[in-house]
Structure 1
């Protein structure tokens, strides 16, 4: 029996991974949650190193997937202690506990470890984050490498997928503004959308397939270690994403492009991740954005009509 612990299994990515692994015969899942406790999960605060150690000692998983993190750039900028606790110290605690049992650890990181000036970025490119979120995730990558030889960082870009509320992804968080722009008076209804930063929206069920394939390699003694990257291949600004969302929602949204950065927290311009390392291993799946977003909207229908 191959045993996998998924840390943060109630989050946007964690749920997709848990669902994908549930389809594997002969595998046992141990799911941990914190802010959204569920009947089939173990409540675990990964900021508590002693609790992390007790959990790993009790479960002794063959592999651990760390999908829990503080991923909101503005929160990281204003609360660097929280960002460090979740994105650095927790990774170190989990990896250190896992090392005692020889467990392989997969830790999720971000394209924001790069400054966005020289895309595409290969997995061996020198990181240079420009905000607190990127810095904390880069420190988390280093914490993993320092704590175990059986670890892999998987860098990912902007994620979207099946949601429990619109704000769970920066993609679906645009829906309320899009809907409002289609309902309000013409003279005051345009929604301003960023048309500067280039993102590569990536579907969480596709990432879950990547994670499952990486786990399969570990299970047969071919563990991928070091750094790997996966990304969607459709470049879009938030303005373009909003246009595609409006089309999927069948609404006449009034959108205005903003061609200069306006976020209080600095964002990179274009952090396109090169996925060649995983592609060379035959790992990966990409669902076209329009297909994927319609699947998301079908499961969480817009009620603004």
Structure 2
């Protein structure tokens, strides 16, 4: 039991992860302030994180105990085509938020990615050398460095490819595979690079546990990582969906050649979290059935 109800500010609150984080923390009856920009639903505060004055005013007004910084541009095509603009959000805004958090005494958890690794030597420990292969991975590595430079006591949580309740199938690199299954046109799907998918509810519960420890006085800082326990290629994910929903998959063939630049196997070591007693994993079959059933 916590001495007080924590006030949590969540950036990217309208996104795939942010929506579930806000939902689960509110279910715990915590005081949650959700921030969004392009998709501002009722109950969320609109703020352009690239506007430093707006962000400064927001954090000064809300005075959160903890900031979960989940906002980022993560779609590869956007990052590739608008790299400088992406850096303003992914890197510069992250550093600014870290500076503000330190100044006002808020704890900070910055969400990062397994794409900071090249995928050649898994499982990766938190202090293993990073070598991002994509511009997206580079912006997230740069964001980690910006955050820890401004606020050395901040926390980084690296997460893998995520899936969960989506507003459109393309919102997740996992759920979009259902569209491939439902379309009878012949399609090749990668059976080369491996992923450790995590359900957004698992990440939200991990964040809850981390913050609960923080609020009890436990020092939680530096880099933490979570990978889903099951390792699957995208082709294997489509086979799971095919089995669950009784959808034909004869039109889908496995591809054994590398596609776009992405890590081959970016599985991350989870021990810094498990040593704290923090571990949440939804079985992929159960998780994907739950979030995709509404789309059938």
Q: TM-score range by the shorter chain?
A: over 0.9
* CA distance, structure 1, for counterparts of residue 125 and residue 259 of structure 2: 28
Look up the match of 1:294. 289
User: Is 1:230 aligned to 2:226, yes or no?
Assistant: yes
- SS of 2:254's partner is strand
Alignment partner for residue 21 of structure 1, among 13, 25, 28? 25
Alignment partner for residue 215 of structure 2, among 207, 216, 219? 219
- SS of 1:154's partner is strand
Q: Deviating runs (4+, > 6 A) in structure 1?
A: none
How far the C-alpha of 1:82 sits from its partner, in A, is 2.3
* CA distance, structure 1, for counterparts of residue 95 and residue 8 of structure 2: 18
Give the alignment of 1:97-176 within 5 angstroms.
Answer: 97-176=100-179
* CA distance, structure 1, for counterparts of residue 137 and residue 274 of structure 2: 25
* CA distance, structure 1, for counterparts of residue 42 and residue 178 of structure 2: 31
How far the C-alpha of 1:101 sits from its partner, in A, is 1.3
Look up the match of 1:258. 255
Verify the 8 A CA contact 1:61 1:103 in the aligned structure 2: yes
Post-superposition CA distance 1:204-226 (Å, at most 9, x none): 00000000001111111113100
* CA distance, structure 1, for counterparts of residue 147 and residue 259 of structure 2: 34
Look up the match of 2:269. 274
- SS of 1:193's partner is strand
Post-superposition CA distance 1:110-157 (Å, at most 9, x none): 001001111110111111111101110000000110111331110011
Alignment partner for residue 40 of structure 1, among 22, 39, 43? 43
- Structure 1: gaps (5+ residues): 182-188
* CA distance, structure 2, for counterparts of residue 110 and residue 262 of structure 1: 19
- SS of 1:155's partner is strand
Aligned CA RMSD, in angstroms, stands at 1.1
**Mean Cα deviation higher: 68-77 or 134-143:** 68-77
* CA distance, structure 2, for counterparts of residue 284 and residue 153 of structure 1: 17
Structure 1 length normalisation: TM-score?
A: 0.93
Post-superposition CA distance 1:15-50 (Å, at most 9, x none): 11001101223x211111111112211101111111
Give the alignment of 1:241-252 within 5 angstroms.
Answer: 241-252=237-248
Verify the 8 A CA contact 1:88 1:143 in the aligned structure 2: yes
* CA distance, structure 2, for counterparts of residue 38 and residue 72 of structure 1: 21
Post-superposition CA distance 1:152-176 (Å, at most 9, x none): 1100111000111101100111111
Look up the match of 2:203. 207
Verify the 8 A CA contact 1:214 1:223 in the aligned structure 2: no
Look up the match of 1:185. none
- SS of 1:29's partner is strand
* CA distance, structure 2, for counterparts of residue 138 and residue 272 of structure 1: 16
Alignment partner for residue 283 of structure 1, among 275, 278, 292? 278
